Structure 1
C-alpha cells in the first residue's frame, strides 16, 4: 500500500489494535498475542535447526553477530511469519516483535533483499521511522505516556509497567515529557 502515514493515522491504528485486544491505555501490550490475533507465527531462530537451517547460520546470529539482527517479518505468499533473535533480552524482543508487526499493520512493501552479503540490513529510513512510531504507540499509548509524564514517572517505572526496556521507555516518553513540561510552564504563567 502506498498510503502516506501521518502520526495521527498511525496512533489510530495502534488504538484500534489495542482495543481489539481488550486493552486500555495503561494496560501492557503482549506483542505475541497481537501477532497471534493477526495469524502471524513467531519463530525464535534458536529453534530453526529443526526446520533445516544450518547450525552455523543459527550460531552466527545468536553468538557471533547477535547484535546485527533482531527480527524480520517474512512473506510466504499471502501469509506472514516473524523470525526473532531470541539471544536478545525479553524486553527487547517484545519491542522488536511490535516493530515487525507495525510493518504488517502499515502494509509496508517487502524489500527484495533483507540482508546484504555482509549480513547488514536493507531498509528504508521512512518505513523504519513509521514502524518505530507505531510500535511505540502500541507499547505505550500517548494517553498513558502523558499521564505518566505528569506523574514524573522515570524510565525504569515506565519500563517495568509496560514490560519494555528503559531505552524504549525513554523513546516512548520523550514527546509526552515535552508536552507535560510545556503545560506546566503555561500553567505557571497563568497562575502569576
Structure 2
C-alpha cells in the first residue's frame, strides 16, 4: 500500500474548493493501480484525522470491500462502499489505531483521553470514541470507586 498526499495530484485550491462546497466530502480514498493499492489522503485534515482516514482505508483493503456505489458531488462522480461496509471499516480502523489493551494500559497509567490522542497521533474524538465504546471508561470508573 502506498499513501499519497492529494495535493500532489490536484492543486490544493481545488481541494479547498471541494471542502467549501461540502465539508468533509473527501478525506481519503483507495485506488487500485496495476494491482497495487494507493491511498490518497486530504492534506487539509490534521495529522490525527489523516491517521484515522488511513486506518479506515486500510480496513477496507483488509476486509476486501468492493467500491460499488457511485455518488456525485459538484458534477464529479465518486465511488464508495455500502453504508454497512463504511461502518465496518470505521470500527476496524479505530481498533487498529487504538486496540483495547493499549487503552487499558494507558488508563492504568492515568492517561487522559487528550493524552492518549496526543501520544498515539489520533484525534481527541477518536480517542474518546474508542475509550468509551471499548468499555475502558466504565472499567476505570468502576476500579476507582472500589
TM-score interval w.r.t. the shorter chain?
0.7 to 0.9
Alignment of 1:133-152 (within 5 A): 133-152=91-110
Q: Please identify which structure carries the higher strand content.
A: 2
Tell me the C-alpha RMSD between the 2 structures: 2.8
- Runs of 5+ consecutive residues of structure 2 not aligned to the other structure: none
Q: What residue is the counterpart of 1:100 in the other structure? A: 57
Q: Is the 8 A contact 2:19 2:26 kept in 1?
A: no
Distance across 2 between alignment mates of 1:43 and 1:121: 18
- Runs of 5+ consecutive residues of structure 1 not aligned to the other structure: 1-39
Deviations, residues 98-133 of structure 1 (Å, cap 9, x unaligned) = 1111111111122252x3245687442321222112
Deviations, residues 141-177 of structure 1 (Å, cap 9, x unaligned) = 2111112234442211101110111111101211221
Q: What TM-score, normalized to structure 2?
A: 0.79
- After superposition, the Cα gap between the structure-2 partners of 1:150 and 1:170, relative to the gap in structure 1 and judged at 3 Å, is same
Higher Cα radius of gyration: 1
Aligned residues: 142
Deviations, residues 16-37 of structure 1 (Å, cap 9, x unaligned) = xxxxxxxxxxxxxxxxxxxxxx
Q: What TM-score, normalized to structure 1?
A: 0.62
Structure with the bigger RCO (C-alpha within 8 Å, sep 6+) is: 1
Q: CA deviation at 1:56?
A: 6.8
Distance across 1 between alignment mates of 2:54 and 2:104: 24
